[in-house]
Structure 1
Amino acid sequence: MMNRRNFNKLLGAGLVAAAAPKIVTPALADDVLKVGFVYFGPVGDFGWTYQHDVGRQDIVKKFGDKVKTTYVENVPESADAERVIANLAAKGHKLIFTTSFGYMDPTIKAAKRFPKTYFEHCAGYKLASNVSVYEARFYEGRYVQGVIAGMMSKTGVAGYIASIPIPEVIMGMNAFLLGMRSVNPTAKLKFIMVNTWYDPGKEGDAAKALIDQGCDIVTQHTDSTAPLQVYAQRGIKGFGEATDMLKFAPTAQLTASVNNWGPYYVKRVQDVIDGTWKSANTWGGLASGMLEMAPYHNMPDNVVAAAKATEEGIKSGKIVIFKGPLKDQKGIAKSTEGVVLDDGSISSMDWLVEGVVGDLPK
């Protein structure tokens, strides 16, 4: 996807309040494949980074002593990232996963310095002979969430805690409202842009503000469990992010869009072992298993049935999310009747659908 998450001018140092990078490395033998991971958050965020680390652990379970893994957490999306990535390569890591969009240019630079090392960059779009990119179609899960919200919201107004105004987040908001409007044509979506991926304080405050604005169901595109805990305190329902967060709010979580990186990570490690690794661009969703829906809770049986049917419809291709007619907030047509937006249009999305309340930052 040549434009996927292509707003890197919005992604500089300081998206996450980063502590000094922590490197965790087991004792290594000379005859094992060394695999490195670079994380922008802590593995204990129980969101984005946590789920990538679950994938790393899947590698360990699959290959045992044949592979040893290293991870570096709390790495800022800045020039420091190149140093960390290059350091892993210099220490003999043959395969390195860099797990945030802001690592794109540092990954490309490190790949030029270490042409015999294989690099896998999550959420980027720049390829090289030794660099692949991979991403999940998160918007598919947002649409399923929207269907649930459309059926359960009493006010017809849902809330969205947005992180950064990039296409991934924008398409998520749009898909959520389209899902709502598939069952409630007058539904609206309010959002707050918190300008961070992980900040429990900001996320919790945003949840409270959206509830105070009349949103009776709220979802998040941020990584902490703070919003769900606010929902539980305020007696409303919502959705987890990146991983199943049910245990943190057993009475509030309806479901969660779960990022399932393990199978992809295992396959790419096997490719290196087999000598078949090639640069590729992967964008998987519900059908591929790269995205999954957590079990459905705290909702009536008919809503569970509708959610499961929606999930299966997306997998089969019966449900196409970004299919015209589509209009933006100003009523301008973005797609005419029956016309489906292609991946390039989706991955460079910079407009909000009709019914989303609020403006994107300039």
Structure 2
Amino acid sequence: MLSNVKRIVVKVGSQLLSGDEGINRNFIKELAKQISILIENGKEVVLVSSGAVLAGIKALKLNRKPFSLQEKQALSAIGQPYLMAEYREAFKSHGIEIAQVLLTAEDLRSKERFINAKNTLNALMKFGALPIVNENDTVSVEEIKIGDNDNLSAHVSVVFEADLLIMLTITNGLYDKDPNKYSNAKLIPIVENLEELKKICDFSGKTNFGTGGMWTKVEAAAKASKKGIPVIIAGGKEKDVILRILKGEKIGTFFMPAKKLKAKTYRILYLMKPTGKLYIDEGAVKAIVENGKSLLSRGIKKVEGSFRKGDAIEIFDTYGNLIGKGIVRCNSDEIGSFRKTCVHRDDLVILKEN
């Protein structure tokens, strides 16, 4: 499955980048060596890197995480130049220029900005530069925040149309329980069904500097795999781990790719934040679920929230069961008088098991 891999997204977390005196230069040098070999062999690579806030913490010699969003944003602003300087120095020795790419969720929710992000990454590939992507913490607020770089890496792999997402972490893959606490923890080599995985795994616990535990990685891997992108969660401290994965060595946990979602479907499901709710009658439920029809205004019984044309909304039946998500074609205050299609079938995603 990995023999024809051309485009690769590599994600590294804060714990791997953390050193005793600040950013772990040895890890970055090793990472740069492996990625440079991939590029020399004709691969196209995007690196999603945490570590800006960590670099800010280390620069100010703090011994704690930020208390507030404002502190996090300030520390990110302080740390980002330090982090990029380390990457630039490491890749410079291999003759590779780096490019800083900062994104928010809003950049990915909008179709136009989604396409622009894709075009920018493609242009950087033509220049032979390595894009290093991070969330734009300095300007992010709750409404436009992705929240963690695990999910960001999944979104970037979709934008980049990657053939493989490699998520490097401090453990050697996904275990059924915390391997640092339990000696009998078992590595899960392959994941095919997320619901079955939830039954056998304990996803509790977060790292000292990271924003999430193993569950965020599983959640992100599930999103990318639903877009048809294979995902591997592996130990970043393993010798030549990226190169060995590309050679076909079975390392870490492999998430099997599913049938590819369309880019619009992915954006509706995972990127667009619903701003309202529509409750529809039984006839409308049958029309959109069983017959693949658009949602007409006459089938809407109740409206909640305030939304505008082009916003994402959730659709429920009259019993409160979630039916789907979609992009609405009218404002919330127009529903009663809007005698047209409210959600076109091309902008509608039916949720059954999602």
TM-score, with structure 1 as normaliser: 0.23
TM-score, with structure 2 as normaliser: 0.24
With CA pairs under 8 Å and 6+ residues apart, which has the higher RCO, 1 or 2? 1
